[in-house]
Amino acid sequence: MTPYKTALITGASSGLGRALAEALAGPGVTLHLGGRDLPRLEAAAAAVRAKGATALPHALDVTNAPATRAWIEQAGPLALVIANAGISGGTGQGQSETERQTRAIFAANLDGALNTILPALDVMATQSPGPDGRRGTIAAVASIAGFLPTPGAPAYGASKAALDAWTLASAPAAQARGIHLVSICPGFVRTPMTAANPYKMPGLMDAEPAAAIILRGLAQDRLRIVFPWWMGVLARSIALLPNAVRLMSRAGSKPVLPDHP
């Protein structure tokens, strides 16, 4: 039984976001689900309701800071917020990322996460603490891709690296306000985003077990949840090598964004 009676998830229409919503769902649970694709979001909401939870879908682009703040403020009080929305893109066949693609990825993966986390911090700071002194939990979905240079997807890896670093560095100040701030760094998860990758993905797992790992990590009060653990260690080790960039340049590249040829 989930300890979170109220939760808000961005990027909840598919993949890891939907898996997290379904894992949290149950009688007495209210889930605020955000996403850009309303039909897919409604399908996710239906799956959540089938488990006895209340689902409140909301069509939203997290790069719109005022709209995201307004949604979060009206949704409160909240026990858990998961900033999961993000996009992927890379260099394709050895091309350089365009300025438009680079800015789009940073806008969604970094600014979009901050557009979610910062208002959530403000909302939770006004909530009454529980018996453990905690006012709420906020999770930022970063990536193991941020642990090392990734020439095949420069903006994706860098945006996730920045989100992971900011989250960890901000956790002590959040803790002083009674809020648990945690960085989630998955490896490859089978989702529509990774389905386009043209290369082998070591450690690839389905979204449902990934969601279970995340919720276990949250229950253990971890500040960073990295899985598979061995992939995190490997990525960190490669990043220490003097020729890490050249080595990673031989790995596969993510495809360019669909609207960024």
pLDDT in tens, 28-63: 999 999 999 999 999 999 999 999 999 999 999 999
Computed over every residue of the chain, the mean pLDDT equals: 90
Write out the two tokens for 4: 């979170």
Cα–Cα distance for residue pair 195/175, rounded to 1 Å: 37
Question: Residue 98: pLDDT above 80?
Answer: yes
pLDDT of residue 257: 65
* ω into 149 cis (within 30 of 0): no
Best CA proximity match to 58, nearest among 13, 17, 16: 13
Find which of 84-93, 143-152, 161-170, 203-212 is predicted with most confidence, using mean pLDDT: 161-170
Alpha carbon 182 to chain centroid, angstroms: 11
Our answer to whether residue 156 is catalytic in this structure is: yes
The letter for the amino acid at 224 is R
Domain chopping of the chain, boundaries? 6-249
Question: Residue 235: pLDDT above 50?
Answer: yes
Question: Residue 182: pLDDT above 50?
Answer: yes
Spatial contact of 145 and 195, defined as CB atoms under 8 Å apart: no
Cα–Cα distance for residue pair 74/195, rounded to 1 Å: 35
The percentage of residues in the chain with a pLDDT greater than 70, rounded to a whole number, is 89
User: Spelled out in words, what is the top-level CATH class assigned to the domain 6-249?
Assistant: alpha beta
Write down the catalytic residue from 147, 156, 166, 188.
Answer: 156
- Section 88-112 average pLDDT: 85
* ω into 77 cis (within 30 of 0): yes
Find which of 146-150, 191-195, 220-224, 248-252 is predicted with most confidence, using mean pLDDT: 220-224
Residue 179 half-sphere exposure, CB side, CA atoms within 13 Å? 26
The phi-psi region of residue 61 (left if phi > 0; otherwise alpha if psi is between -120 and 50; otherwise beta) is beta
